[in-house]
Chains A and B, each alone.
Chain A
Amino acid sequence: MRFRTLGLSLLATLIVLSGIGFVFADGHLEIVYAVNREPDTLDLHKGSSRYAMVPGASVFDTYLYLTEDGEYLPWLAEEVTMSDDARVYTIRLRPGVTFHDGTPLNAEAVQYNFDRIVDPATQSRAAVGDLASYQRTEIVDDLTARVYFADPHPAFWFGLSDWRAGGPHSPTALEADPDGFARAPVGTGPFRFVEWVERSHITIERNPDYNWPYPRAEHSGPAHLERITFRTIPENQSRVIAVTTGEVDAAMSIPPQSVIELANNPDIRIESRVLPGTGVILVVNGSKSPTDDPAMRQALQWAIDPTIVSRVGYFNAWAPHLGSVMSAPNPSFLDLSDMYGFDVEEAGRILADAGWADSNGNGTLDKDGNEAVLQYIGFPSAQTTRVIELLQATLRPIGVDVNILELDTGAIQKARQSGDHNIAHLTWIFKDGGFLRTLFHSENLGTGWNFTHYPMAEVDQLLVAAETEADLARRGQLIEQVQRIMLEEAIVIPTVYQQQINAFRSNVQGIKLYEVYGEAPYFYDATIE
């Protein structure tokens, strides 16, 4: 009896305590946002994780704001001009901007930031890529800086809109504690860093002095919310339950299979954004039989329908891919959905015309002694497995077999680099089209990320030209050509776009998923009722 009383008292205390927690959260305009991974560091000059942008987008601002349409709008920089040869950029800063520690954002701070990123001692992993061939920054006057590059560098526009190179860090804080900055960042953003309890949460609070919101903001002055806590919940189902019970106010990266369930909940609102990059694509090996035969590659294009993939594999939560190697939010995206249709009989005809036939009567096509057996290599995930099983079932009636091999991160990389596959799964998230060089230039065959095993001289030339083309419109055309060739050669099979799906409690309004990194939420206009 005594134990029962003790148990009930304990339970009552817990319920009361958790109730107090919610009152505190609401009373102080605080929201709890569930994230699936922790950042590696919040020193964005050094780090490489996209998850750093989730709190980072509120702690740091950027010089330019890149819209969904690919337009660069002024933000911390009132104006940016580029020389005709794309080697010199002049940045005129907005006056009156200060870091959270009171340090003014001036040309000296710009110079300090860029110099630090390229300094080998910083050991920058990603930001340094935005500053390729950087030479120096000249201080023209207090609010004007001129940045010099050795080679034409049109991608610097993107760099100025990317928090890693384009989000100024406080020089004062960096000088005071260069290593400690990673876990106590100081930027110019609408929220100030408060604490990071490892593998638990990161907390930020409103910056009361803030008055330089991003160009698409709906109000001016400080943000509405007082406090935001980013709680790490890696397990998908736990994150879904946490937002369902109201334990958190919002959750990111909702798995496709949970979207319908949450969308039917009147207390939850689902918002989704297509991520830039490749989307989910299947890379075809152009040097291994049977996909070294262009007819086999063409047949595969006719045998897969992104709309059915979206329905079967992703419960319609991730939209069908309409391009080739680039997703819709990327500037210069090309809609190529009319190049091939979905017609399995047409696929069979293409193979028959190219000489594929079941000569030995085993039910599988063959040609010149090679059997029509495709080796698929991908990650063990429910979605991709369903997709490849769909392809397997579609191809079987026309005499093409698919062997499925699913490997973990490390093993899959070596297998794809060695060319063990005919079809390999690939996703890549990046906004600027420059990423295509990493994935499809022949310099990255064998040891890099080009898994086509199929050198294409024209694509190589276009990718190199795009990297140094100063005329942004012309650069876009070059990237469009690459997309078209990749699909004409049938060396990739687009399936669905990769989507960031977030769930919000209905009393939370105004959180926007930023257009460059779909994962990065913008809390500036957010409110909680």
Chain B
Amino acid sequence: MWSYIGRRLLILIPVIFGVSFLVFGALYIIPGDAVDRMLAESGASAETLARLRDQYGLDDPFLVQYGRFLSQMIRFDLGRSIITDRSVKEQIRNQLPATIELTLSALMIAFLFGVPLGVISAINRGSWADAIGMLIALVGVSMPNFWLGLLLIMAFSLQLGWLPTAGTGGLDHLILPAVTLGFSGIAVIARVTRSSLLEVMSSDFIRTARSKGLRQVTIIVKHGMRNSMASVLTIVGLQFGALLGGSVVVETVFSRQGLGFMAADAIQSLDIILVQGTVMLAALAFVLVNLLVDLSYSLLDPRVRYT
């Protein structure tokens, strides 16, 4: 087990290296830079621009810039934002708690609603309950979260006046963003739960359980769900990545503190150093969460052993 974890962590090194190359390369080939953007806002002189480009090494060749980026990363130094001149690490530290709060809330909503919806659809396969469940799932997968967010704001803030439109604060500020972000997760988890449970329920051991006269609830919960959870957990891990990506839009629509809001702002300002730091962190978090998901398989299925 521990040697497996060790190996997986070692594999992280080339993964992170590859991600860093993709992130840096993608941002490098975008035409224009933050200095152009600054000029548009301030009318700074050509000398000021040249000085800024020199200061941030924006005119250096690709390999020089990439080498500098890698050497900073190795020292856990994510650099300083071009726009605010503040440490990227410090900015991430300030925004991270709000994104974790939102992502975990959304994941919880997705799991708590998605799994029962999938189970209900599976055990009532072909019935109206299945049709409604899968219709909800279809809507959830199809509807862009910025659109859902605006609809929820219009309903619960503008029309009913129950919840605030925007901002970061207590539970009232969390409900709409978490539901918006978690809705597509409900859909995905429900569909996977349904198909996975249907597959398990047609297995021989379920037939055996039935022939032994076990109650339907016991069969579904104890035998069916436990065996179908591996696929659901995999999708939960992948959903974490989708939710991190979705937080860019949701945090912006709800003007909520967080890495997504920060990243969207940084992209608009072409603040490449801040974008790099945020994307690298998100990639690392995604890889680590998937490692945790892989490790959790052994808890659910004793047949899974890591060597």
Chain A residues close to B by CB (< 8 Å) = 10-11, 14-15, 17-18, 34, 37-38, 40-41, 46-50, 120, 123-126, 128-129, 132, 182, 197-201, 231-235, 237-239, 241-242, 244-245, 247, 409-415, 428-430, 435, 438, 444, 448-449
Binds A, one of B29-37, B185-193, B231-239, B289-297: B29-37
Whether B85 contacts A411 by the Cβ 8 Å rule is: no
Contacts A232-B255, A429-B41 known; 11 new A-B pairs at CB < 8 A: A50-B41, A197-B168, A199-B168, A200-B168, A233-B166, A234-B252, A234-B265, A238-B153, A238-B253, A238-B255, A241-B157
Top 4 A-B residue pairs of the complex, sorted by shortest distance between their CB atoms: A410-B32, A48-B42, A126-B42, A414-B31
**Residue contact B157 to A199, C-beta cutoff 8 Å:** no
CB-based contact A124/B31 at 8 Å: no
Max chain B C-beta neighbours (<10 A), residue from A10, A18, A198, A199: A199
Known: A14-B163, A414-B31. A49 touches B42 (CB 8 A): yes
Are A231 and B166 in contact, with the CB atoms below 8 A? yes
Is A18 a contact of B164 with CB atoms below 8 Å? yes
State whether A129 and B162 are in contact (beta carbons under 8 Å apart), knowing that A48-B41, A123-B85 are contacts in the complex: no
Q: How many residues of B contact A (CB 8 A)?
A: 54
Q: Give the complex CA separation of A237 and B153 in angstroms.
A: 10
User: In this assembly, does B48 line the interface, its C-beta being within 8 Å of a C-beta of chain A?
Assistant: yes
Q: How far is the CA of A444 from the CA of B91 in the complex (A)?
A: 35
User: Residues of B contacting A235 with CB < 8 Å?
Assistant: 166, 252-255
Given contacts A40-B84, A241-B157, A413-B36, contact A448 B46 (CB under 8 A): yes
- Closest Cβ of chain B: how far from A17's Cβ, in Å? 7
Q: Is the CB of B162 within 8 A of A14?
A: yes
- Which of B71-79, B122-130, B256-264 has 4 or more CB atoms under 8 Å from chain A? B256-264
Point out the residues of chain B lying under 8 angstroms from A411, CB to CB. 30-32
In the assembled complex, B55 has its CB within 8 A of some CB on chain A: yes
Binary CB contact string for chain B from 181 to 213 against chain A (1 if under 8 A, 0 otherwise): 000000000000000000000000000000000
CB distance A241 to B154 under 8 Å?
yes
CA distance A18 to B158 in the complex (A): 14
B216 touches A (CB below 8 Å) = no
B43 touches which of A233, A414, A430 (Cβ 8 Å): A430
Q: Which residues of A contact B257 (CB under 8 A)?
A: 197-200
Considering only residues 1-44 of chain B, those with a C-beta below 8 Å from chain A are 30-33, 36-44
Number of contacts between A and B (CB, 8 Å)?
151
Which of A41, A124, A201, A409 sits near B84, CB closer than 8 Å? A41
The answer to whether B165 has its CB under 8 Å from any CB of chain A is: yes
Residue of A nearest to B32 (CB): A410
Contact B158 A238 (CB under 8 A): no
Q: How far is the CB of A75 from chain B (nearest CB, A)?
A: 22
Does chain A have a CB within 8 A of B70? Answer: no
Docked-complex contact B43 and A15, CB < 8 angstroms: no
Q: Are B165 and A242 in contact (CB under 8 A)?
A: yes
B270 within 8 A of A: yes
- Which residues of chain B are within 8 angstroms of A200 by Cβ–Cβ distance? 167-168, 257
Complex interface bits, B47-91 against A, C-beta within 8 A gives 1, otherwise 0: 010011001000000000000000000000000000111100001
Task: With A199-B95, A245-B157 as known contacts, state yes or no: A435 contacts B31, CB within 8 Å.
Answer: no
Q: A38-B265, A247-B157 are in contact. Are A50 and B42 (CB under 8 A)?
A: yes
Q: Which residues of B contact A237 (CB under 8 A)?
A: 150, 153
User: Could you say which residues of chain B place their CB within 8 Å of the CB of A412?
Assistant: 32
In the bound complex, do residue B166 and residue A126 qualify as a contact, i.e. CB atoms below 8 Å apart? Answer: no
Known: A126-B44, A129-B45, A231-B255. A241 touches B165 (CB 8 A): yes
User: Which residues 254-307 in B have Cβ within 8 Å of A in the complex?
Assistant: 254-255, 257-258, 261-262, 264-265, 268, 270
**Residue in B32, B85, B153 whose CB lies within 8 Å of A241:** B153
- 13 A-B contact pairs sorted by A residue (CB < 8 Å): A10-B171, A37-B265, A38-B265, A48-B42, A50-B42, A198-B91, A201-B167, A233-B167, A235-B252, A241-B158, A242-B166, A245-B158, A410-B33
Residues of A within 8 Å of B86, CB to CB, are 182
Contact partner, A14, options B153, B172, B261, B265, Cβ 8 Å: B172
Are B95 and A198 in contact, CB atoms less than 8 angstroms apart? yes
A244 to chain B: which residues have CB within 8 Å?
158
Chain B nearest Cβ from A124, distance in angstroms: 7
Once the chains bind, are B167 and A48 in contact (CB under 8 Å)?
Answer: no
